[in-house]
């Protein structure tokens, strides 16, 4: 998703940017067809927000994915534990790329560690 040049992935990155999400820092938990004109997915942002969304376009028409739009966008951060794919969402929290650590955070961690 982060670098693929296929139409759907390019369009998904554009739609994410419109919502202030950085693709390189966002995890696509899942995306799958949900009928002839919709794909359902979940994104995990770098800040730990969980978003459920639907992309709408004609899945059967070549090139239509470049014109996909988000027909539904919900922040489910406070209720993802009850979602159908809660196990996949939980795993995304575990396997997502680590956040950038600053020198200050490293120094603070070193000074708060008990001596060996």
> How many residues does the structure list for the chain?
116
Q: What is the mean pLDDT of the chain?
A: 83
Tell me what the mean pLDDT of segment 58-68 comes to: 89
Can you give the residue range of the structural domain that contains 108?
7-112
Question: Is the residue at 2 inside a domain?
Answer: no
Question: Is the residue at 75 inside a domain?
Answer: yes
Question: Is the residue at 108 inside a domain?
Answer: yes
Tell me what the mean pLDDT of segment 40-58 comes to: 94
Question: Is the residue at 96 inside a domain?
Answer: yes
Question: Is the residue at 1 inside a domain?
Answer: no
Question: Is the residue at 102 inside a domain?
Answer: yes
**C-beta neighbour count of 65 within 10 angstroms:** 19
* CA 115 from centroid of its chain's CA atoms: 39
Q: Are 65 and 12 in contact (CB under 8 A)?
A: no
pLDDT at 8: 87
Torsion of CA 10, 94, 41, 83, to 10 degrees: -170
Query: Structure tokens of 3?
Result: 């670098």
Total domains in the fold of the chain: 1
Judge whether residue 114 has pLDDT over 80: no
The larger pLDDT score, comparing residue 53 to residue 25, is at: 53
């Amino acid at each position: 998703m982060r670098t693929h040049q296929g139409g759907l992935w390019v369009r998904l990155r554009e739609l994410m940017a419109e919502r202030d999400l950085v693709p390189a820092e966002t995890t696509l938990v899942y995306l799958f067809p949900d009928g002839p004109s919709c794909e359902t997915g979940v994104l995990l942002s770098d800040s730990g927000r969980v978003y459920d969304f639907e992309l709408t376009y004609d899945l059967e028409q070549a090139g239509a994915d470049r014109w996909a739009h988000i027909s539904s966008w919900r922040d489910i951060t406070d209720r993802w534990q009850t979602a159908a794919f809660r196990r996949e969402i939980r795993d995304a929290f575990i396997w997502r790329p680590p956040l950038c650590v600053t020198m200050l955070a490293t120094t603070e961690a070193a000074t708060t560690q008990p001596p060996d």
